[in-house]
Amino acid sequence: MLGAFTHPLSSAGEGAQVSRAHIYRHRHAVFNGVRAHFLSGLESFLFLETHATVKLHWRIALLVGCVALIGGAVIAWHFARLRASQRKFTDQANIYRLRAEHGDAEAQYHLAGMFYRGQGVPQDYGEAFALYRKAAEQGNAKAEYGLAYMFREGKGVPRDSVAAVSWGHRAADQGYAKAQYALGSTYYEGKDVPQDYITAASWYRKAADQGYAEAETYLGYMYSNGLGVAQDDAEAIRWFRKAAEQGYVKAESQLGYMYSVGRGVPRNYGEAARWYGKASRHGDEYARRALDSMRIGFSTGSRIILSGLVLASSLLLISSRGSMRTVQQGKVTVAGLLCLLWVALKIYGYSHFGLLQSLSIVNVFYFGKSLLAGLGVAMLISFLWAKGAKTLLPSCGVLFIAVNIYAIAHYGLPQLRSCPPAFYSINGMLTGMAISSISVLYLERQKSQAVTMAG
């Protein structure tokens, strides 16, 4: 009986030891659970970050690959076309050389031009001059003009103004319109001969009677200003129109001017805009800016569009309450403000930009106005479409590089300044959309990181 009982103090001590061991095991289990949970979360976070980084790297690689592909294709096409043209010129030069060696004056003239330009043969002004002389001595009017040009410019031969005028007269006397126009310009400018507007007008008329557009234009100018002929705006209009109908850009621009001020014809802004528009499309910078500065007033369509944009901007600002508290509200607010700013720039350009601003300032204005448009459009797209910014950014990058590669190939790097306004507008639009997309993606990434850390 006594063996069935234990000492009271001994039983309490053993219970305390059991309780402490249980507590230690429980704490250890909790610690292990927390550590496992933390490591699992950290692993998931790092996996997501790595996955996002890999996706970003793939996108960058795809963008670079597309740009390299487009650039390589343009360069390859350019060199292929250059090689094909060079082969064609080489074949032509060989044919002309065989004929020229047999005294064919026309072949000698063409081969001289190829030596002068370096087409199909190495550029050699001396050889060009020798061939022009051989053809000119046989009475070839075009070669006589070529010889006059080389004497005047001093290429392949020492400069000789007397010989230049002499050979120019011989070509003009044979009725070669280009020589007649050049001789008229020589007398008009008083270069190498005494200035003589009457003689200049006479030679211009002879070339113009053969339909030579440059001569028709300058003869019209002389009638417009009463130089060497009686001042007659109606006659000036007649010659300007003849040249303009052949697509000569200076005549188109001059005809637009005559209609805009009502000289020789009743003032007609519609006709002025039509001819200025043709000259502008043919690359005449004065005509483009004159067209912008005519100030005919906003058309009904333009007024409706601008009013609609102002209304839409106001609705956007009202709907977002002008708040920037959330990313979505910020997108709507910024889009509305940018739209209003674009309308203000449009009105400012209408009222202030004309013929007096430099070309650089005009180009910057077009770029800046389109930049605002691009920022606003991208903001709205990212608001309406969740993946809009991710899609727009690489697309804008590829298009931006493609447009500039084409412009450099088409106009040449030194001539980019004189590209049409559309070039600067497109670049501004694409740049604005890219900047807006980068901003949206950055803000969304910051928000995502904040949510992940909070979780």
Of residues 311, 365, 299, 318, the one with CA closest to residue 339: 311
Range 212-228 burial, b when 16+ CB lie within 10 A, else e: bbbbbbbbbbbbbeeeb
Sign of CA dihedral 84, 85, 88, 90: negative
How far, in Å, CA of 52 to CA of 46, rounded? Answer: 10
181 DSSP 8-state letter: H
- Mean pLDDT in order along the chain per 10 residues (455 residues): 38 47 53 52 46 56 67 72 80 90 92 91 92 94 94 91 93 95 94 92 96 96 95 95 94 92 89 88 80 62 78 79 72 80 76 56 80 84 79 84 80 67 84 86 78 70
**Could you tell me if 200 and 184 are in contact, meaning their C-beta atoms sit under 8 angstroms apart?**
yes
Predicted confidence at residue 433, as pLDDT, reads 87
Within 10 Å of residue 328's Cβ, how many Cβ atoms? 12
How far, in Å, CA of 297 to CA of 281, rounded? Answer: 21
User: What tokens does 353 get?
Assistant: 């930009």
User: What tokens does 51 get?
Assistant: 């996955």
pLDDT of 5-28, one tens digit each?
Answer: 333 334 444 444 445 555 555 555
Predicted confidence at residue 108, as pLDDT, reads 93
Predicted confidence at residue 418, as pLDDT, reads 64
Predicted confidence at residue 2, as pLDDT, reads 35
Within 10 Å of residue 289's Cβ, how many Cβ atoms? 19
pTM > 0.75: yes or no: no
Looking at the chain, the number of H-run helices and the number of E-run strands are 17, 0
| 90-252, CATH topology level | 1.25.40
Q: 80-85: long-range contacts (C-beta < 8 A, 24 or more apart)?
A: none
Predicted confidence at residue 58, as pLDDT, reads 64
In the numeric block, the tokens 């007609």 are attached to 268
Q: How many angstroms separate the first and last alpha carbons of the chain?
A: 63
Predicted confidence at residue 228, as pLDDT, reads 93
Q: Residue 176 phi/psi, 5° resolution? A: -75, 115
Predicted confidence at residue 14, as pLDDT, reads 46
Please state the domain extents for the chain. 90-252, 253-294, 300-454
Predicted confidence at residue 23, as pLDDT, reads 52
How far, in Å, CA of 208 to CA of 63, rounded? Answer: 55
How far, in Å, CA of 389 to CA of 442, rounded? Answer: 10
Q: Residue 247 phi/psi, 5° resolution? A: 85, 15
Predicted confidence at residue 209, as pLDDT, reads 96
Q: Residue 68 phi/psi, 5° resolution? A: -60, -40
